[in-house]
Structure 1
Amino acid sequence: MTATKVLISGASVAGPALAYFLRRDGYEVTVVERAPDLRDSGYAVDFRGAAFEVLDEMGILSELREHDTRMSGTLLVDEEGTEIGRLPAEAFAGELEVPKRELTRILHRVTAGDVTYVFDDSISALTERESGITAEFERGATREFDLVFGADGVHSKVRRLAFGSPPGALRHLGLSGAGFSTVNHLGLRRSGILQHGADRAIFLLSTGDADRLTVSLSFSTASPALDRRPRHEQEQAVRAAFAGRGWEVPRLLEAMSEADDFYFSSTCQVHLDHWSAGRVALVGDAGYCAAPTSGMGTSQALIGARTLARALASAGGDHTTAFAAYEEELRPYVAENQATGRETAVTMFGGGAAPADAHTS
């Protein structure tokens, strides 16, 4: 019997996790990733609740615990840098926190032996037929698959190709920001410093590498349009938002331009009436991003991948039945996380800026 051929777009968290479970169930899996190699950005991710069951089932929980950042907490300061309070480690780090590069490296290692990874390419078109789906690529040859899964993030190309642009699908929570690393001139050791107000925030932390300081500069924005703009325009927006600020701001802005790991993103949620269309289904942020302010992004991606794989297994490969079961089971969990994401953006940060992807949870 010929194995079911599936294509997964995205090699961050949801994609490799789904690849692991589908390959275990006998599927022939290809993962395509537009980046030229495994992504080394994202800084730190954390895990909560049922995500530990998924990690244990994949056999990687013990290894991930070896990379625990062991954060001690976060110092709250005013605009002059004077201490005004402290937050416990759990406020950002969850039950377990690891550098994202370690998670992606491990997920790739445990799947690369029997999953085909194609880097530096992207899906350019999808054409569904009764018996399968044709995928065209920007660089590679056109191929035939039985199913296609979008695990390619908030600005998912698979979602755009299969669903178009449904009104209200991408909901901006009013925050955008830059993340990067620089020399740890503050001497932080497994700890952080947070300065936040109604419309901007600075989050500095040091995790496993004592010589490096992770920086997040977040500010209020009207839309996520800057996400797709060139780096120099993103930097310009950050400089405008923090113009005239004292404390460490001038030094941080200078370091931003020199950083080779600069990253910019907006805090958004994805809301869709359905997470599947024919032979295409979405998993993780591509289908139901809860925003970094939820603290559940990574856990939700892992749980979503396992839920989808289990639904396919229970339905005997009948994707129509499986996709419906997947949504029915996962939607209440996603709705709760999205509510948390919205509430935290308002309550914890006063409706203003939350740390932008220093922790891409």
Structure 2
Amino acid sequence: MTHHSKTDVLIVGGGLAGLSLAGYLQRQEYEPTIIEQATEWRGSGYGIGLWEDGLAVLDELGLLDAAHKRAADPNGFEIRASGGEVLTRTSLSPEQTLLLVIHRADLHAALRENVPSDWIRMGTSPEHINEHADGVTVTFDDGTTEVFDLVIGADGIHSVVRSQCFDDWSKREYDTYVWSLWAQQDVDVGQDMVSVWGPGSEGFVARVGDRVGFNLAARLDSPPNPPGREELRAQAETIGWQLPALLDGTDDEPFFDRVRDVTCDTWHTDRIALLGDAAHAVHPISGMGASLALQDARVLAQELATSRSDHLSKALTRFESRRRPDAARVKRMARVEATVTFLESKYLRRLRNGVVKQTPLFDMFIKRQATE
């Protein structure tokens, strides 16, 4: 069965990047089709820090208040050594929201409110994508075929669009694994975001209302069997502070994944473009992956708004040229952060902790992060 859709744009992937782009395109009188491989929206995922660039996108989409109701505005950012000793603390301005901490599922729910539900097809993925001079023919997994002017791959780190339509890319797998739990708890973790550094590991904790978000990442010689709760317990006990108590406070199954990043030599063809993690997934230690994805959506929408329909390739070229430097900067920064954070040597950890405790380097880093 073949028919030509009246919809010009296909967005593959209903995650943060895809929904943000749809929100912008709606204002430009597009009616994009969004396809999502999952049959239902998941409630799991990381705790996310949204800095200024990400907050600006939510504000433009009219969703900042909705996100704020689901998020925490931390008083500061603490770094603690294994066991709980405070190495340094940076205060965040109470007069200005520089950072929001939010569960990915809550941010996703806020973005969904901005997109008509009949634009979204759940449980659908592309089987074949064929680009030609007049458009892009997409065959879906139910056997139907449609033609679009533009296809956007916003389908994450395991992108089907990237795999089918691009050659010069690589996906790097780290020896680092991450767990995330969000649960209602009365464990005292304060009102700051807290990063606790263990041997080759990090615990990240933040309170959002009556829930506590708890991410833990650790370097391991071999992957545990998902969801690896026994290994999570062992890592939490090694890091210490309040992490074991947070595990005691919930029987929920943790979100579990391996840390990966993606590098693509190009993010676009004449009629196909990659967005967010599909183009440039970064190590989550940066805390910038969501903000990068939201900014990608903003810039792509800007370029499409100022381009004629017969100049799509030029719009995609400008989009990539504007966004690639920012993604490359975050990727470099993330690799440095991961090297510093996941030290295993006792001597190097002691040296690092001393530098953080005795110098203003971390304070300078956080203030730069909050304003770039």
For this structure pair, what is the TM-score category when the shorter chain's length is used for normalisation? Answer: 0.7 to 0.9
Deviation at 1:219, TM superposition (A): 1.2
Distance 1:306 1:161 in 2: 25
Query: Which of the residues 129, 136, 147 maps onto 2:150?
Result: 147
Residues 1:206 and 2:199 are matched in the alignment: no
Query: SS at 1:179's partner residue?
Result: strand
Distance 1:133 1:267, change over 3 A: same
Take 1:41 and 1:239, find their aligned partners in 2: how far apart are those partners? 16
TM (norm. structure 1) is: 0.79
When the two structures are aligned, how many residues end up with a matched partner?
A: 338
Partner of 1:275: 267
Q: Distance in 2 between matches of 1:312 and 1:82?
A: 49
Report what 2:100 is aligned to. Answer: 96
Secondary structure of 2:152's counterpart equals strand
Other-structure match for 1:123 = 126
Residue 363 (structure 2) aligns with = none
1:56-205 alignment, distance < 5 Å: 56-73=59-76, 76-79=79-82, 81-88=83-90, 95-112=99-116, 116-139=119-142, 141-164=144-167, 166=168, 169-182=170-183, 184=185, 186-191=187-192, 193-205=194-206
Q: Percent identity?
A: 29
After superposition, what is the alpha-carbon deviation per residue over 1:178-209, rounded to whole angstroms, capped at 9, x for unaligned?
1123462624354455432341223343322x
| Equivalent position of 2:24 in the other structure | 21
Report which stretch shifted further, 33-42 or 327-336: 33-42
Greater mean alpha carbon deviation, residues 134-143 or residues 312-321: 134-143
1:233 to partner: Cα distance: 3.8
CA deviations over 1:69-104 (Å, ceiling 9, x no partner): 13344665554x3434353465xx952333333321
Residues 227 and 255, structure 2, Cα contact 8 Å, conserved in 1: no
Equivalent position of 1:358 in the other structure: none
Give, in angstroms, the shift of residue 307 of structure 1: 1.1
Aligned equivalent of 1:302, options 270, 291, 294: 294
Aligned to 1:290: 282
Query: Helix, strand or coil: the match of 1:42?
Result: coil
Query: Once the 2 structures are TM-superposed, how far is the Cα of residue 140 of structure 1 from its aligned partner?
Result: 6.7
8 Å CA contact retained: 1:123, 1:136: yes
Residue equivalent to 1:35: 38
Structure 2 distance, partners of 1:254, 1:174, is 27
1:312 aligns with 2:313: no
| Amino acid corresponding to residue 37 of structure 2 in structure 1 | R
State the one-letter code of the partner of 2:269.
A
Secondary structure of 1:217's partner? strand
Q: Is the 8 A contact 1:69 1:99 kept in 2?
A: no
Partners of 2:66 and 2:239 in 1: CA distance: 42
- Of the structure 1 ranges 194-203 and 6-15, higher mean CA displacement relative to structure 2 is found in 194-203
* TM-score computed with the length of structure 2 as normaliser: 0.77
Structure 1 unaligned regions, length at least 5: 354-361
Paired AA for residue 212 in structure 2? L
Residue number in structure 1 paired with 2:364 = none
For 2:306 and 2:261, the matched residues in 1 are separated by 29
- Residue among 318, 322, 325 paired with 2:315: 322
User: Would the aligned equivalents of 2:179 and 2:232 in 1 still touch at CA under 8 Å?
Assistant: no
How far does the alpha carbon of each residue in 1:150-204 deviate from its partner, in whole angstroms, 9 at most, with x for none? 111122122112125x45x223454221112346262435445543234122334
- Residue 33 of structure 1 contacts residue 121 of structure 1 at CA under 8 Å; is this kept in 2? yes
Q: Relative to 1, partners in 2 of residues 1:276 and 1:255: Cα closer, same or farther, differing over 3 Å?
A: farther
1:237 offset after TM fit, Å? 8.3
CA distance in 1, matches of 2:51, 2:212: 25
Residue 134 to residue 237, structure 1, CA distance change in 2 (3 Å): farther
Q: Is the 8 A contact 1:52 1:61 kept in 2?
A: yes
Q: Is the 8 A contact 2:262 2:277 kept in 1?
A: yes
Greater CA deviation, 53-62 or 190-199? 190-199
Amino acid at match of 2:276: G
Judged with a 3 Å threshold, the aligned counterparts in structure 2 of structure 1 residues 82 and 295 are, in CA distance, closer, same or farther, namely closer
Shifted more, 53-62 versus 277-286: the winner is 53-62
